[in-house]
Structure 1
Amino acid sequence: MAPPDNDVLWARSLHCTLGGTQALSGVSVGVREGEILAVTGPRGSGKTTLLRCLSGELLAQQGEVWFNSSPVHTLPAARRERLRRERFGWIGPDADLVPELTAWENAALPLMLRGVPHRAARTAAGEWLDRLDIGACARTRPHGLTRSQRQRTAIARALAAGPSVLFADEPTAALHRADGTQVLRTLAAAARSHGITVLLATHDGEVAALADRTVTLLDGRRAGSVPPASGAEGVAACSLSV
């Protein structure tokens, strides 16, 4: 079965076992281009595993994953790594910055690893740091940044590379609620203004309300796909200029 033409990401019947535990049991999902899709569910429901499978980081034991109508699940490891580097972005619950590098160097690192000239990479990184309100911290190393500033730097790193799809796995879990809400709204607005598809894993209903649509997992199975309860307000709240 071919994936739908309007789905930038499409997965069918994913089964994945990790450490002897069934993390995914027959999960299927499609994500439209430019959509923000929230993947919700309690801790241990399979959210991170699903994102890892969709991004090509992890291969499911059974099932298919397609990106832009091309199979990901059959690609060799080197080509999946190239796909993640050039087309996908990833933000985790921790910033995972390189401690020896400044904020702008961390944000520019994926571009420089891709071979983008130093000046162009620095300009792109600086623009995103400015949009995320931490341009003044560009020359500061991670140990001199607050937790929020480190996470914003990680978001700038993901966005500066110009991904087609951004995977955000509990990206504000380590932040205070007010700080996390502001960061998420900025991320959502940036994604919408640049047509970036976002998969946002969260167990927080208020976070999920920022998405266009919600898919819920329970014990590794898809429990349903419904619009978030406050979706209208969530979309409106994202109409910030970035």
Structure 2
Amino acid sequence: MVAPPDNDVLWARSLHHTHSGSPALSGVSLGVREGEILAVTGPRGCGKTTLLRCLSGQLVPQDGEVWFNSAPVHTMNALQRERLRRDRLGWIDPHPTLVPELRAWENAALPLLLRGSSYRAAKAAAMEWLERLDIGDCARKRPAALLQAQRQRVAIARALVPMPAVLFADEPTAPLHRADRAQVLRTLTAAARSHRITVILATHDADVAAVADRTLHLLDGRRVNADAVRLHDAEGRDACSLSV
């Protein structure tokens, strides 16, 4: 087992994983530096979410290595990986999962409250991010009283409040309209730049990927060049036109 390069905050080598016998990742390797925004792109079903889940310790790859700084995530037990995710990593899902009994600011403050932060400090941090995401006026509302786009912004605030070292964003703008999407992306990128947060952003949207410093392309669980993805997309469109 070889330790990762010193300048990579997150590093993976030759990741393999299958779902129900079907390959989801086949030998994917990557390195990401502190404060870098990496877009992981490719068509639906190409392995983007599986890759993010392996990198964040939610899944243990069936083969390969994942390192966070100098710590081998792939050899950690379940409790160690849970602590790593709680203390150092953030996660944004395509669709928000909020605690229905809690108000918006309480949902956003939850990671800090679970760490033992004071009520006052947790609320102040949550309100700061809700304001930056233009939903400060929704702070006292519960999820059922919010629109889908507002709930997604609360979920994004919750991921940013604890200032994670690495933020994993799996199609974070999927439920948002184009104008909302642009504003949220500006906030994410500004947070990454100002606080040196590493962002790994899974998306099949070229406009979303354009905010990244670098792009990693996946196709059928493998890392490929952009031309292979464009050819795949073109073949898919041709097949659809022939079937009409």
- Alignment TM-score > 0.5, same fold: yes
1:180 partner amino acid: R
Partner of 1:78: 79
Gaps of at least 5 residues in structure 2 are 228-244
Q: What SS does the aligned partner of 1:30 have? A: strand
Q: What SS does the aligned partner of 2:113 have? A: helix
| Correspondence 1:104 to 2:105 | yes
Gaps of at least 5 residues in structure 1 are 227-242
Partner of 1:223: 224
1:109 partner amino acid: L
**Structure 2 counterparts to residues 85-234 of structure 1, below 5 A:** 85-224=86-225
1:10 partner amino acid: W
Q: What SS does the aligned partner of 1:10 have? A: strand
Cα distance, 1:186 vs. partner?
1.5
What is the distance in 1 between the residues matched to 2:193 and 2:91?
Answer: 17
Q: What SS does the aligned partner of 1:73 have? A: helix
- Percent identity, aligned pairs only, is 74
What is the distance in 1 between the residues matched to 2:82 and 2:118?
Answer: 21
What is the distance in 1 between the residues matched to 2:189 and 2:155?
Answer: 15
What is the distance in 2 between the residues matched to 1:34 and 1:13?
Answer: 23
Cα distance, 1:69 vs. partner?
1.9
Q: What SS does the aligned partner of 1:119 have? A: helix
Question: Following superposition, which runs of at least 4 residues in structure 1 exceed 6 angstroms of deviation?
Answer: none
Aligned residue-pair number: 226
Cα distance, 1:119 vs. partner?
1.2
Q: What SS does the aligned partner of 1:186 have? A: helix
Larger radius of gyration: 2
What is the distance in 2 between the residues matched to 1:196 and 1:144?
Answer: 31
Structure 1, residues 98-123: CA drift from partner, whole Å, max 9, x if none? 11110000001111111111111111
CA RMSD of aligned residues (A): 1.2
Q: What SS does the aligned partner of 2:156 have? A: helix
What is the distance in 2 between the residues matched to 1:147 and 1:74?
Answer: 38
Q: What SS does the aligned partner of 2:75 have? A: coil
